[in-house]
Chain A
Amino acid sequence: MGEPTLSLLGSSDFNPDKYVRELSLNFVGGLELARLRKKVHSLSEETSNNLKKNVYENYMQFIDTAKEISHLESEMYQLNHLLTEQKSLLNSLYNTSILGDDSLVVIEADFSKDDSEEKKEEIRKQKLLALKEKISGSSHLMDAPNRKVLYESYLTELDSIENTPLKSVYGVLLSDGILIANANFDDQESISLQFEIYYDLGSVAVVNVRDLGNVKQAFKLLAFPDSRIFQCKSSTVKKEWLDKLDQAKKERLSQEQNKKDVTLIDKSPSRSSSIDVPYINPFEEIDEEVSIHPEWFLEIPDELDVCVAQRHFEEALALLDKAKEYTVGYILTQNQDDHIFSDISRKVEQRKSTLIDVLMKELEVNHDKSLQGGLRAARRAVRLLNQLDRSMQSCELFLKLCSSMLKIQCKRVKREGSTSTYVRHLSSVVFTNMCHMTEEFLRAFPDSPSCASAYVVWASHELNLFTSHFIKQAFVPQTSLSTLTECIILVRGQCERLCKYGIDLCYQLDGSLRSPLTKALRDAKDKLIDSIKLRAQEDKWIPMNLKSKSALARLMQEYLDVGLLLNDYVTGDYWLQLTTNTVSFTKLFLKFLDDCLKLQTADLLHIIDETMYFVYDCLKLQTADLLHIIDETMYFVYEAQIKHVEHSLKNEKQLEQRQFMIKNADFLLNHLLNAVQKKYKDVNNFESPGLVKLKTENTAVLKGITATARNITKYSSTEYL
């Protein structure tokens, strides 16, 4: 049993109890044991250091991966967007060639035909279910697989001889029959419906009651032995009933005709005669075709024209739906060629594209048109276009509209006052609008992945426009680092507002700001170094005279606030054993440090937000780029000041004066540097490596040794981190 080593302690069969027991046997005496303890302790420290390093390295990778993923995500969105665009392009090409061909009009190939079929089936089931619940005793009727609810309404049944009201009923037209339920007025509030009878469509004849004395809006059902008269509440209800009944009957008829064509001919007397006898009916052609389709269907193109002209878009849509329903039903059951049908279908399709065009015009950005109504004004057109399965186009137009609105809003923000005031206004306008637009967008296009990706692409584009404008306005030499910092923090805060809608563009913002920010930091560094050099030329190396006790006290307090105790440097009533230069540098550098740390926290806060669960310690790695630049900048600035001291020291022979210089150097390299490192550590949890390096490089100065005696290693960015 020997000394503790890493391999021993780390081996898999290591037993601590046994090991300690053996140790106490082999190593006797307090001194021995203390030495061993120290050794174990150092091993443990080494291990934990290694562990930390590993963790850091892996987290770095982890964070890199996370970054990659968010980039990938945005790329996937873009890809999705591109694909959808391609698809709609192909789709429109496909449609064009078919129309040009002049063959049968193909019913619109929507993007999600299966979807809508499924939805229809879903709606069908729901309607039946609702009826089942509404009408007691009707459940046996509601499970048929193809049964559809075509129409339903309250009706008043009339006495078939006296025409007087008998009772209130609820009529339901199903695809294959009519259901009548008695309406009972139990109490003031509710009506209960009780199933009465179901007539199969084939066993009931419908009569339009044109004239029944004072009785208006009635129709008759003849279902032997019953003959019943029902009164509707309005002429439109009656019209619906008759139209829908007719339609249902026709569908049923054509279905059965398909099934047994031959038998039906035998059954119909007028038909069988028409086979034997030469037929010269002048009405024949009209008769045949007109009677096949309901009147409303034939009139639909004209009606659509009127609706569109009067801007009754909803009605037009309802008509289109009606026509489509009829068309689908007709095509399903009919395989013969019917030129009236195809003519009407083609006209309806034309009207539909006219409607779409008109609606798209509504959404188009027009410079004469005021955008007063804002996005609300666009809601109607967007909704209707969505209903027409044109959501991709409406989405595109909607986003274009957003862009132009955003542009106009931004133009209204005057470039006046300070840069930060301007940026505050502008970013508030941009992001407030984007938030509104997002809300409006989510309202208009809920659960549409293709539209969502178009939106993300749009938002990212708008952000780019904004950032490039922001960079142009704010990142100019005149802007101080403090102002810049303030602006960046403002913009970041605004950008985070979008996060609550699930759109996090902060990483994009950070990315676009990184390089101008780096440049700005380097510029600031150059400026600082220049001013340090300038002051160095004028440095007389004399203690600072503050001229009054109160001035001295004020200065001391000021420095105490930033963690610097100047008591040791005070002589007399108002003398400070530091040069004006040293004091100005102190102020300058602390301000600079402040800005840098703020920039860093702005960046960091976001990441903390994003990845709550990460060890805070590791987070600084994420901002490595920025941190690196900050560190580098601090190093160079600080070094410039130290160099000045060193240079002065080199040329100074007088001992007293040299001591004064060393005292200043001591202040800079110890007092100030410590305070700086403390601040830095408060934010980053570790000391600035650049400044640590600076200190070690320059400790010689404190002993009066100057550059000629030493080799100054140049600061290199690869040396730390």
Chain B
Amino acid sequence: MAQCGGVRVHQNQFIMSKKPTVQPALHKVIMVGSGGVGKSALTLQFMYDEFVEDYEPTKADSYRKKILLDGEDVQIDILDTAGQEDYAAIRDHYFRSGEGFLCIFSITEDESFQATQEFREQILRVKNDENIPFLLVGNKCDLEDKRKVSFQEASERARQWGVPYVETSAKTREHVDKVFFDLMREIRARKMEENKANNGRGKDRKKKSIKSFLFCYKH
């Protein structure tokens, strides 16, 4: 009985909150990269201006924030994924929901840089889109003395992929806002482009999404 009562309160909530509100545009960003490279640290620095020293592996966390992007009210939705997601199939699901990706490695760890190749491939496969908004991010640049991945090496890879390369520090907040804002601008640009394309060749667009849909289901 108590449970029913509780649920009914929720129902009333629906009615009260069902007022027409125009929500600002929502951009969905996904943080990918090996474990311990600083995905969560970057996210938390961006969200709350704080640096978390402790390492606590993430499973899949989402955050949302209202921000002013070039004078426009937008919302950013950040999905912070796990460096170790054992289930490859499930990672696909996360990637599918993203509109833009921050692919992060730690400049102190070559292994994490190598892994970005795999992440890039998986994202392209899942999104089936060569031009998906994407930034290659070399984190922990405050640890210059422990650097294992050179700037040239990383920017060469970014150039090959046709994406920007930015070095950040979740600790010093260097370039933290930049990577998120840059990515959102790309996403926004992509969306405007798509809208245009949609208005022009609606049928084509539809076909493409069905194709990608089928592709995904094969996996």
Interface on A for B, CB 8 Å cutoff? 154, 156, 161-162, 164-168, 183, 185, 189-191, 202-213, 220, 222-225, 227, 233, 242, 246, 249, 253, 264, 267-270, 272-274, 277, 279-283, 286-287, 290-291
Contacts and interface: CB of A to CB of B under 8 A. Distances in A.
Which of A185, A190, A210 neighbours the largest number of chain B CB atoms within 10 Å of its CB? Answer: A210
B83 A287 contact: yes
25 contacts: A161-B23, A161-B26, A164-B18, A203-B93, A204-B90, A206-B59, A206-B60, A208-B62, A210-B63, A212-B64, A224-B93, A224-B96, A224-B216, A233-B6, A249-B90, A268-B86, A269-B122, A273-B115, A281-B111, A282-B36, A283-B35, A287-B36, A290-B57, A291-B57, A291-B84
Given A164-B21, A166-B14, 11 more contacts: A164-B14, A164-B17, A205-B90, A207-B62, A209-B61, A210-B62, A268-B86, A273-B118, A280-B110, A281-B36, A287-B35
Interface residues of B, number: 56
Contacts of B122: 269
B7 interface: yes
Contacts of A203: 89, 93
Interface string B72-116: 000000010011101111111110110000000000011110110
Contact of A205 (B10, B26, B83, B93): B93
Given A154-B3, A156-B10, A283-B55, A270 B36 contact: no
B4 interface: yes
B47 interface: yes
A277 B111 contact: yes
Contacts of B109: 280-282
B172 interface: no
B11 interface: yes
Given A222-B96, A224-B96, A272-B118, A279 B57 contact: no
Contacts of B35: 281, 283, 287, 291
B60 A280 contact: no
Contact of A273 (B10, B14, B83, B114): B114
B89 A202 contact: yes
Contacts of B17: 164-165
B83 A220 contact: no
A283 B35 CA distance: 8
Contact of A209 (B6, B62, B91, B94): B62
Contact of A202 (B86, B90, B213): B90
B14 A207 contact: no
Contacts of B10: 156, 165, 168
B62 A270 contact: no
B59 A208 contact: yes
A222 B97 contact: yes
Please give me the 5 A-B residue pairs with the lowest Cβ-Cβ distance, nearest first: A269-B118, A205-B93, A283-B36, A211-B63, A207-B60
Which of A209, A233, A280, A283 neighbours the largest number of chain B CB atoms within 10 Å of its CB? Answer: A283
A279 B111 CA distance: 7
Nearest to B10: A156
Interface of B is mostly: helix
B184 to A, nearest CB: 16
A283 B84 CA distance: 12
Contacts of A277: 110-111, 114
A253 B82 CA distance: 16
B64 A213 contact: yes
Contacts of A267: 88-89
B65 interface: yes
Nearest to A204: B93
Contacts of A223: 93
A168 B11 contact: yes
A450 B93 CA distance: 55
A264 B88 contact: yes
B178 to A, nearest CB: 21
B119 interface: yes
Nearest to B112: A281
A222 to B, nearest CB: 5
A270 B115 contact: yes
B121 interface: yes
Interface string B125-155: 0000000000000000000000000000000
B34 interface: yes
A407 to B, nearest CB: 47
B189 to A, nearest CB: 20
Which of B47, B60, B66 neighbours the largest number of chain A CB atoms within 10 Å of its CB? Answer: B60
A210 B35 CA distance: 19
A476 to B, nearest CB: 66
Which of A246, A267, A291 neighbours the largest number of chain B CB atoms within 10 Å of its CB? Answer: A291
A282 to B, nearest CB: 8
Given A269-B115, A270-B115, A162 B62 contact: no
Contacts of A190: 4
B125 to A, nearest CB: 10
B160 interface: no
A284 to B, nearest CB: 9
B111 A269 contact: no
B7 A167 contact: no
A371 to B, nearest CB: 38
A274 B13 CA distance: 50
Contacts of A162: 21, 23
B117 interface: yes
A222 B94 contact: yes
A40 B63 CA distance: 113
B201 interface: no
B211 interface: no
A224 B216 CA distance: 9
Given A168-B10, A273-B117, A211 B90 contact: no
A92 to B, nearest CB: 40
B205 interface: no
Contacts of B96: 222, 224
B8 interface: yes
A165 B60 contact: no
A274 to B, nearest CB: 7
Nearest to B217: A224
A206 B60 CA distance: 7
Contacts of B7: 154, 168, 183, 185, 191
Interface in B14-68: 14, 17-18, 21, 23, 26, 34-36, 47, 55, 57, 59-66
B199 to A, nearest CB: 21
A246 B110 CA distance: 30
Nearest to A286: B55
A190 B8 CA distance: 11
Interface string B187-219: 000000000000000000000000001001000
Given A168-B7, A246-B59, A287-B57, A268 B97 contact: no
A60 to B, nearest CB: 66
A64 B137 CA distance: 96
Contacts of B13: 156, 165
Which of B93, B112, B121 neighbours the largest number of chain A CB atoms within 10 Å of its CB? Answer: B93
Contacts of B97: 222, 224, 227
Nearest to A242: B59
